[in-house]
């Protein structure tokens, strides 16, 4: 009887490594998102398009590319390729179309470019996860969804610096809008599948 139990225990130990251990490892990593590239969210892909108020220029981004493309709509051709991004997310024109802003969720920045020569004018750090953006009707504030921190960062566009962080969201990504009177903003939560009004 003892020999029989010893023989069974000898077979059980290798079976644990062959059957049980791999299933534990698989179940522990099942809920994790695949990480491609270097950023925490590079597995999330999106593209963005912004057209200047005079409808002469279009700026295009693809989060899988480390650059954005500037198109001349009147001539129908590529005007410039701007490199240096990791995960470019959203593009919005500001200051009557004289500048445009690109959010980068991996770098955690907002980059401000001049429409005249497409050069970098300024950069504001808002933290990794910077995704969708929206500008207040008076053009003085920008609201930035931060998917990594479950928050929305408010940026002063005149002083070019963050002035507030609104919390209580669930991975806000691309969708964010400001009301016409500037008193509220609507933000979609990726995890909860709901629209939050603040």
Query: Could you report the per-residue pLDDT of 82-136, keeping only the tens digit for each?
Result: 999 999 989 999 999 999 999 998 999 999 999 999 999 999 999 898 888 889 9
Indicate the pLDDT class of residue 193, thresholds 50, 70 and 90: very low
Q: Give, as one character, the DSSP assignment of residue 176.
A: E
The answer to whether the pTM exceeds 0.85 is no
Q: Tell me, what's the pLDDT at 10?
A: 47
Burial 47-70 (b: 16+ CB within 10 A, else e): ebebebeeeebbbbbbbebbebeb
Burial of 41 from C-beta contacts in 10 A (0-12 / 13-18 / 19+): buried
Q: Tell me, what's the pLDDT at 92?
A: 95
Distance CA 127, CA 35 (A): 19
Q: What's the average model confidence in pLDDT over 3-7? A: 46
The average confidence (pLDDT) of the chain is 76
Weakest-pLDDT range from 12-26, 67-81, 88-102, 116-130: 12-26
Integer angstrom CA distances of residue 59 from 103, 116, 159: 13, 13, 24
Q: What's the average model confidence in pLDDT over 152-174? A: 82
Q: Is the pLDDT of residue 172 over 90?
A: no
Q: Tell me, what's the pLDDT at 60?
A: 96
Indicate the pLDDT class of residue 34, thresholds 50, 70 and 90: very low
Q: What's the average model confidence in pLDDT over 156-183? A: 76
Weakest-pLDDT range from 83-87, 118-122, 170-174, 178-182: 170-174
Q: Tell me, what's the pLDDT at 184?
A: 57
The answer to whether the CB of 111 falls within 8 A of the CB of 69 is no
Q: Which residue has the higher pLDDT, 48 or 184?
A: 48
């Amino acid at each position: 009887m003892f020999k029989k139990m010893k023989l069974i225990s000898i077979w059980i130990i290798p079976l644990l490594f062959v059957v049980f251990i791999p299933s534990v490892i698989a179940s522990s990593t099942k809920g994790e998102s695949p990480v491609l590239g270097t950023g925490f969210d590079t597995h999330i892909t999106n593209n963005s398009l912004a057209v200047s108020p005079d409808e002469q220029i279009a700026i295009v981004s693809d989060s899988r590319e480390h650059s954005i493309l500037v198109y001349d709509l009147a001539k129908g051709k590529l005007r410039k390729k701007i490199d240096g991004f990791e995960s470019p997310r959203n593009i919005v024109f500001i200051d009557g179309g004289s500048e445009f802003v690109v959010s980068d969720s991996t770098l955690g920045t907002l980059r401000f470019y001049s429409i005249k020569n497409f050069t970098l004018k300024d950069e504001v750090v808002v933290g990794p996860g910077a995704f969708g953006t929206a500008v207040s009707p008076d053009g003085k504030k920008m609201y930035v969804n931060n998917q990594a921190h479950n928050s929305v960062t408010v940026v002063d566009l005149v002083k070019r610096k963050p002035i507030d962080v609104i919390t209580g969201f669930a991975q806000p990504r691309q969708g964010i809008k400001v009301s016409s009177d500037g008193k509220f903003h609507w933000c979609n939560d990726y995890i909860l599948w709901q629209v939050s009004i603040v």
